[in-house]
Amino acid sequence: MSRNEVGRALRPDGATLHVTGRSRFVGDLPLPARALVAWPVQSPHARAKVGAIDASAARALPGVAMVLTGADVPGQNDTGPVRHDEPLFPVEVRHHGQAVAWVLADDAPTARRAASLVGVAWEPCAPMLDLDAAIAAGSFHTEPQWISRGDVEGVLAGAAPDRELVVVEGAFRTGAQDHFALETHASLAVPESDGRLVIHSSTQHPAETQSVVARVLGIDLNQVVVQCSRMGGGFGGKESQANAWAAVAALGAALTGRATFVRLDRDRHMGMTGKRHPFLARYRAAIGRDGKVRALDLELYSDGGWSLDLSDAVMGRAMLHADNAYRIPSMRVRGQVVRTDRTSQTAFRGFGGPQGMAVAEEVIDRLARAAGLDPHEVRSRNLYAAAGEAGTTHYGQEVGDDRLRTIWESLERSSSFATRRAEARAWNATAEASRRRRRRGIAMTPVKFGISFTTTFLNQAGALVNVLVDGSVQVHHGGTEMGQGLQAKLSQVAADCLGVPVRSIRMMPTRTDVVPNASATAASSGTDLNGGAIRDACATLRDRLAPVAASLLSGTGTVVDPAEVTFAAGEAFAASRPGATVAFAEVARAAHRERIGLSATGFYRTPGIWFDRGAGRGRPFAYFACGAAVTEVEVDGFTGEMTVLRVDILHDAGASINPLVDVGQVEGGFVQGMGWVSSEEVVWGSDGRILTHAPSTYKIPAATDVPAAWHVALLPRAAQAGVIAGSKAVGEPPLMLALSVREAIREAVAAFAPAGTSPSRVDLRLPATGEAILDAIDATRAAGEGG
Amino acid sequence: MPRMIVNARINGEEHELFTDPHRTLLEALRDTIGLTGTKEGCGTGDCGACTVLLDGSPVNACLVLAPEVEGKEVITIEGIATDNTLHPVQEAFVNEGGLQCGICTPGMVLSAVALLDRNPTPTETEIRYAIAGNLCRCTGYDKIVRAIEVAAEASR
């Protein structure tokens, strides 16, 4: 494969459409004639039995076509993606705002008004809204999973008399996070005259949406086509949770014969769909006086909400990342998904990884401060080596290279970490005397993120590449575009695989009838998997075209061997015929005349990965994506306000296919992670209602919240063997670079301890909102005064 | 409620909008005229996705009632490029990678255009405050800020 297009900072696919307002999202599609709009009838209770539904007043409203209830479902009344535990029309509601019926009307205002007229005989019962109470009551979705290595009990039990070891124990919680894709969930189902349904859905997983629609309608998969041209942000929120709305639209279309449109407005979107899982971690850990972590015993509980959704896999990934980048010789992790009466928490960029890694950083900091050691030094001392015992994770996979150390040392230098930390400390030391309310903190954290779906069979992809007789190319694959730049990167891959310029490549909308059975665009895998499939299809086409090109290149007395034909930059040429070229378009035309197929499918499956869940052992990841970040913050001791002053990032994207796109992923991922650890707090009321229901009450970072001093670099000379074009997945890993924000805040909070003292622990909630920061400062001051 | 007719100049063309008096400008633009470049992100004026220019000033179209634009000039994202030539702000967003999923982009571009119209030489802080009401969940904003700086440079 040549590298004419790959490696270039190609603009994102559709950029010109976006800036001119011409790009169409599902909600922008022109509605077919007589289309219906759906609106939900929602539960005002977090838990209640659903008695009689009286829709007579709603049906009587002019413009109302139908009120959908459970009785209308011809197939299975269920949309669960893994376990079938999600009734689309429940007989018992399990979270506040859950839909029990849907009104179909000529327009949204009419449907909404009619929905308010539907009477439901609710029989409320006491909801389970508290994670700890649910654990105590044994309310779980799953049996516990385990990963264990070494003699954790032995180390921890033997630790007390051993003066060389310091042991800590505690509990730590991470908060929920709303995806807040600017585009809310939307689906448009259009009935075709032959009985098929075509569904335009804002979904990261069209094949699963297709499958759920077919299940609800009780029809074969071949009767349903799901198309996703683009999403206005996904972040995992549209991996499984786009399915229910598509099923409602499909049901409406199937029963009325009219196109049906479902779009959740912001309040319904945030009130009805899942978040990043809140976690509770209980831990015991030990560190030696030498700064080496010896043991970690960890219990993880996630709040899965009302249904299982993808929570089991999310917990699995959290457990596989509870080491972050640190070698912990004796480690035991137990994980279990808790059932509560809240929205069904779901995939969100990092997929449990952020929670697991936040716990790792919490434990490292606790251990370091308890032992009177420098947390930065402890991080550095415990980084994984490349191989051998010191480079093997708790589940038995070798890290494989020493990029973690390379990145760590390189970023320490490029960010002037030591100097700036000394400066921040000097600034803090004079703060009291200068009557400054603020303190500064600087911290550096690493990221090691495993790439591949941990459910091994999902690591497959298909593609279809069509060469047209004019030499232009259409590329289909199973991945979906949600702003991550997948189409741009894959167009570069296709261009170089075929040896044509990228302007010859047209990336096509994702459709289940063109590339079937595709996995979700998730787990950062879009480019790796679909790129592999496209490369395969292009190789087939090149093999077919090479003999055609060879005969076109052969001249008097020279016969060109197809094996020596090279395709590049829209031309074919051969070493034995220097100077002679033939245009790709001419080769395509000649091949067509010779009755050679110009269309090929491709397939890819990630080699060499496996995981034995029962044993908690395996090689679940094709490789690890690594990085590190240095963040410097300032914290106000009077208001709790936090300002990020500067961020330095060095991230490993392999040999980047598109640095513009990849750096964009790093920056965007970091800021999203920064929101999770700082300003974004999801709050549920005591009745189970979500109180942070819109941007009025839920604070994602704005342009004024992100640092002006922003130094992002990709690791140079970083080609990754065995991955498409030597690149590395970059969608999720950068989010966890933002753990450096939290650790920097902790450093700043520690600086509020009375002069000359150094706190033996600094507790900080996640998210570290202004309120949480003030609480942490108060506790630090009180502890310093012997309180 | 009886429907009413609202006269407004939208992207340089006179329009007669036949609308319910309680409909928002956002709904009128999207549903009545079919200008779907103006997006609804929250519907409550907190995200900026529906930003349009009303007599040159950026407003959230979800907070403006359609009758309020009687006799006024409305510019939407569809009215920024001239004769198939991108506005310098649009050009810079494309070239600098100041967009990802694209759904906040129309509002973001219009806030930037409004800023440069009244302040052709903004500081970085002024740029950040000008787009503080436009939420973006994808980019982390840095490339957007750079794009506006580049556009300001190019417009000089």
Q: Does A182 contact B104 at a Cβ distance shorter than 8 Å?
A: yes
Token pair recorded at residue A730: 């970059």
| Residue A159: predicted pLDDT | 65
Q: Which domains does chain A have, with CATH numbers?
A: 34-126+185-263 (3.90.1170.50), 128-175+275-382 (3.30.365.10), 460-605 (3.30.365.10)
B57 & B93 share domain: no
B66 & B92 share domain: no
Chain A residue whose CA is closest to B134: A702
Assess whether pLDDT exceeds 80 at residue A456. yes
B102 & B138 share domain: yes
Q: Tell me whether A18 touches chain B (CB under 8 Å).
A: yes
Per-residue pLDDT tens digits for A575-631: 899 999 999 999 999 999 999 999 999 999 999 999 999 999 999 999 999 999 999
Question: Within the 54-73 window of chain B, which residues sit less than 8 Å (CB to CB) from chain A?
Answer: none
Q: How confident is the model at residue A160 (pLDDT cuts 50, 70, 90)?
A: low
B67 & B103 share domain: no
Chain B residue whose CA is closest to A182: B41
Q: Does A702 contact B132 at a Cβ distance shorter than 8 Å?
A: yes
B68 & B114 share domain: no
Per-residue pLDDT tens digits for A662-687: 999 999 999 999 999 999 999 999 99
B73 & B120 share domain: no
Active site residues of A: 732
B17 & B67 share domain: yes
Partner-chain residue, chosen from B77, B103, B134, that has the shortest CB–CB distance to A233: B103
CB-based contact A456:A609 (threshold 8 Å): yes
B10 & B47 share domain: yes
Helix H, strand E, coil C: the string for A466-499 is EECCCCCEEEEECCCCCCCCHHHHHHHHHHHHHC
Assess whether pLDDT exceeds 50 at residue A787. no
Helix H, strand E, coil C: the string for A524-591 is CCHHHHHHHHHHHHHHHHHHHHHHHHHHHHCECCECCCHHHEEEECCEEEECCCCCCEEEHHHHHHHH
Q: Tell me whether B3 touches chain A (CB under 8 Å).
A: no
Per-residue pLDDT tens digits for A326-380: 999 999 999 999 999 999 999 999 999 999 999 999 999 999 999 999 999 999 9
| Mutation target vs A (from B101, B142, B144; most A CBs, 10 A cutoff) | B101
Domain-terminating residue out of B79, B108, B128: B79
Q: Does B47 contact A695 at a Cβ distance shorter than 8 Å?
A: yes
B19 & B65 share domain: yes
Question: Within the 32-61 window of chain A, which residues sit less than 8 Å (CB to CB) from chain B?
Answer: none
Q: Tell me whether B77 touches chain A (CB under 8 Å).
A: yes
Token pair recorded at residue A44: 């005002």
B29 & B70 share domain: yes
Query: Which amino acid is it at A288?
Result: G
How many CB atoms within 10 Å of residue A556?
4
Give the Cα separation of A506 and A516 in Å (integer): 19
How close are the terminal C-alpha atoms of chain A, in Å? Answer: 67
| Residue B119: predicted pLDDT | 98
Burial class (CB in 10 A: 0-12, 13-18, 19+), B17: buried
Q: Does A182 contact B36 at a Cβ distance shorter than 8 Å?
A: no
Q: Does B43 contact A667 at a Cβ distance shorter than 8 Å?
A: no
Domain-terminating residue out of B27, B50, B79: B79
Query: Which amino acid is it at A151?
Result: D
How close is the nearest chain A Cα to the Cα of B85, in Å? 10
Q: Tell me whether A702 touches chain B (CB under 8 Å).
A: yes
Looking at beta carbons, which residues of chain A come within 8 Å of B39?
25, 182-183, 232
Q: Where are the beta strands (DSSP E) in chain B?
A: 4-10, 13-19, 51-54, 57-60, 73-75
ipTM above 0.95, yes or no: yes
How close is the nearest chain B Cα to the Cα of A116, in Å? 19
Location of structure tokens 């070798």? A398
Q: What is the mean pLDDT of residues A45-73?
A: 98
Question: Within the 728-787 window of chain A, which residues sit less than 8 Å (CB to CB) from chain B?
Answer: none
Look at A1-10, A276-285, A363-372, A416-425 and tell me which has the smallest mean pLDDT: A1-10
Assess whether pLDDT exceeds 60 at residue A161. no
DSSP B41-61: SSSSSSS-TTEEEETTEEEEG
Q: Tell me whether B80 touches chain A (CB under 8 Å).
A: yes
Q: Does A22 contact B37 at a Cβ distance shorter than 8 Å?
A: yes
Judged by DSSP in three states, A103 sits in strand
Residue A446 φ then ψ, to 5°: -95, 165
| Mutation target vs A (from B35, B111, B128, B138; most A CBs, 10 A cutoff) | B138
Query: What CATH number should be reported for the domain holding residue B138?
Result: 1.10.150.120
Q: Enumerate residues 6+ apart whose C-beta is below 8 A from B14.
A: B7, B8
Q: What is the residue-level pLDDT of chain B in tens, covering all 156 positions?
A: 689 999 999 999 999 999 999 999 999 999 999 999 999 999 999 999 999 999 999 999 999 999 999 999 999 999 999 888 999 999 999 999 999 999 999 999 999 999 999 999 999 999 999 999 999 999 999 999 999 999 999 988
CB-based contact A210:A492 (threshold 8 Å): no
B103 & B58 share domain: no
How close is the nearest chain B Cα to the Cα of A154, in Å? 46
Looking at beta carbons, which residues of chain B come within 8 Å of A697?
none
Chain A residue whose CA is closest to B104: A182
Q: Tell me whether A659 touches chain B (CB under 8 Å).
A: no
How close is the nearest chain A Cα to the Cα of B114, in Å? 15
B144 & B105 share domain: yes
Radius of gyration of chain A (CA): 28
Range of the domain at B138: 88-155
Among B131, B134, B135, B137, smallest CA distance to B152 is for: B131
Domain-terminating residue out of B79, B109, B126: B79
Q: Enumerate residues 6+ apart whose C-beta is below 8 A from A703.
A: B127, B128, B129, B131, B132, B134, B136, B141, B144, B145
Q: Alpha-carbon dihedral of residues A661, A665, A671, A677, nearest 10 degrees?
A: 180
Partner-chain residue, chosen from B30, B90, B99, that has the shortest CB–CB distance to A12: B99
Question: Within the 104-143 window of chain A, which residues sit less than 8 Å (CB to CB) from chain B?
Answer: none
Looking at the structure of chain B, the number of domains it has is: 2
Query: What CATH number should be reported for the domain holding residue B39?
Result: 3.10.20.30
Q: Tell me whether B100 touches chain A (CB under 8 Å).
A: yes
Looking at beta carbons, which residues of chain B come within 8 Å of A202?
none
Token pair recorded at residue A557: 């007395």
Radius of gyration of chain B (CA): 15
Q: How many CA atoms lie within 13 A of B156 on its CB side?
A: 9
In chain A, pLDDT over 90 holds for what percent of residues? 96
| Residue A478: predicted pLDDT | 98
Burial A485-495 (b: 16+ CB within 10 A, else e): bbbbbbbbbbb
Q: Where are the beta strands (DSSP E) in A192-325?
A: 197-201, 224-228, 260-263, 279-288, 293-305
Strand order in the sheet with A438-451: A438-451, A623-636, A642-651, A709-714
Whether the bond between A701 and the residue before it is cis, its omega within 30 degrees of 0, is no
Longest Cα–Cα distance of chain A, Å, equals 96
Q: Enumerate residues 6+ apart whose C-beta is below 8 A from A633.
A: A440, A441, A442, A642, A643, A644, A645, A741, A744, A745, A748
Give the Cα separation of A113 and A64 in Å (integer): 10
Among A705, A672, A757, smallest CA distance to A236 is for: A672
CB pairs under 8 A between A and B: 168
